[in-house]
Structures are given as C-alpha cells and as structure tokens.
Amino acid sequence: MTRTARIAATFALAVAVVWLCGCGGGGGGGDGTTPTTPPPQPFNLAGTVKDTSGNPLLGAAVTATVRSTGTQVASTTSAATGKYGFFLPPADYTIRATLAGYQPGQVDVNLYAGDKKLSVDITLSK
C-alpha cells in the first residue's frame, strides 16, 4: 500500500468514527442523536424581605414555586439585610416569604424575556 493510500484510508476511518459517535462538531449531542439546543440562561432574581416600615427582616423563609404546576423549585432564608436570591430558569413563579409573627407575602413574576437580573422585594405585615 502506498503512502497516499494509507493516508486516505486513515482519513476515511477517522471520518467514519467521528460520524458514528456524533462528535463531528455539527451540533450533535455527542451521543450520536439529534442536535441539542443549549439550555436557556437562568434569571438572577434577588430582592429584600421587609416589614411595612421598610425595615429588613432576617430569617424569612423565601420560596420560588412554578405557578402552572405548584412545584416548589427553590428556597432560601433572608440574610440580616433582608436580602435573598435565586437563579431560576424561564417560567411563571410565585415568590413567597414567611416569618413567624408576620402575615405571609408573595409576588408573582414572569421570567421569560428581558433583563436576566431582576429585583423583587416582598413586604410582610404584622
């Protein structure tokens, strides 16, 4: 076999291997299946839990629930500054805060388009 024939055979084998494994850079999922779409960038949703006087509330339980399914997807506790935050994929959410001695507070948000960094404050009343 000539040198040119060996190079051609090696190239053909390499192309076949790349085609079979789906890793040819054509947008495939790397497993030989159909091309995949990258997941959407999450939204950075943050805010402050406050009382009706505007004072920050420490230790409030804050949850993010998908409105269409009622599934709670994230939870955290507000810091001494009342601050909380989540990274959430696009969806419609109810953001709810609760703290002993206060009535629960909630805000509905639609995370689909626009700025990926949002501020949502929640006010709790006695």
**60-99 pLDDT tens trace:** 999 999 999 999 999 999 999 999 999 999 999 999 999 9
Q: What tokens does 78 get? A: 């507000």
Q: Are both 49 and 81 inside the same structural domain? A: yes
Q: Are both 17 and 64 inside the same structural domain? A: no
DSSP states along 42-88: PEEEEEEEEETTS-B-TT-EEEEEETTTTEEEEEEE--TTSEEEEEE
Letter string b/e over residues 24-60, b meaning 16 or more CB atoms within 10 A of that residue's CB:
eeeebeeeeeeeeeeeeeebebebbbbbeeeebbeeb
Residues 52, 122 contacting (CB under 8 angstroms): no
Q: Are both 33 and 92 inside the same structural domain? A: no
40 vs 125, residue with greater confidence: 125
Domain that holds residue 19: 1-37
Q: Are both 56 and 108 inside the same structural domain? A: yes
The torsion region of residue 71 among left (phi > 0), alpha (psi -120 to 50) and beta comes to beta
* Triad 33, 37, 39: Cα angle to 5°: 125
Measured between alpha carbons, how far is 95 from 82 in angstroms, rounded to an integer?
14
* pTM across the whole model: 0.69
Domain count of the fold of the chain: 2
